[in-house]
Amino acid sequence: MHAKARRCVSVLMTLSLGGLLAACGSFDSASRSVASVITPYKVDVVQGNFVSKEQVAALQPGMSRQQVREILGTPLVTSVFHADRWEYVFTLKRAKVDPQTRKLTVFFNGDQFDRAEGDEMPSEDEFVASLGKKMGNIKVPQLEATEAQLARYPVKKTADTAVADAAPATPASTTAYPRLDAPAR
């Protein structure tokens, strides 16, 4: 009886192994169909400084490096070997959207801004519109309060505001920058 039991066990083991191998083959095709439906989340990758058309238009020959930095931000690339230029590179990679890459090189003559060369920069409105294409139609809420809405929240006088009201007005800064959302001329 032991021989019959061993033969029976070996036949059952062989059939079980064959069944498992057959199941693995069908599991592979099932997992592929599930994987084609479920896609992993891909993170948006933003690198560098976004530079708008309005910012480039605000640059004037003769500006100092600090003034250029205040308008465009810190450059992505500065080189010890090319101290007379700054590189502004912006890259945006998003899932299911072509990557955006823009480059702008700012040249200096000593400490004075000389010129800027590079890709055609979009306006801020164009850039924001390109971001919205992925998300579809999103209703943007009104961001301004009416006089009636503001009247519901009266300004409370504190010691700091009383001192500020009594203090003489300080002269405005001599540096004026154009609004970033102003229409291009």
Torsion of CA 46, 49, 52, 56, to 10 degrees: -160
Overall average pLDDT of the 109-120 stretch: 91
C-alpha to C-alpha distance for 19 and 13, rounded to whole angstroms = 10
How many contiguous H segments (helices) and E segments (strands) does the chain have?
A: 6, 5
CATH 3.30.1450 describes domain 40-132: yes
Lowest mean pLDDT segment, chosen from 1-15, 25-39, 90-104: 25-39
Summarised one tens digit per residue, pLDDT across range 54-78 is 999 999 999 999 999 999 998 888 8
Torsion of CA 90, 95, 98, 104, to 10 degrees: 0
pLDDT value at 172 more than 90:
no
* The pLDDT value given to residue 43: 87
* The pLDDT value given to residue 124: 87
Q: Which residue has the higher pLDDT, 180 or 135?
A: 180
Bridge partners of residue 101, in order along the sequence: 91
Instruction: Tell me the average pLDDT of the chain.
Output: 79
- Reported as a pLDDT band with limits 50, 70 and 90, residue 19 is confident
- Residue with the two structure tokens 């690339």: 77
pTM of the complete model: 0.51
Q: Where are the beta strands (DSSP E) in the chain?
A: 45-48, 77-78, 85-94, 97-109, 112-118
* The pLDDT value given to residue 17: 76
- Residue with the two structure tokens 């480039």: 56
C-alpha to C-alpha distance for 90 and 53, rounded to whole angstroms = 13
Torsion of CA 140, 146, 151, 154, to 10 degrees: 50
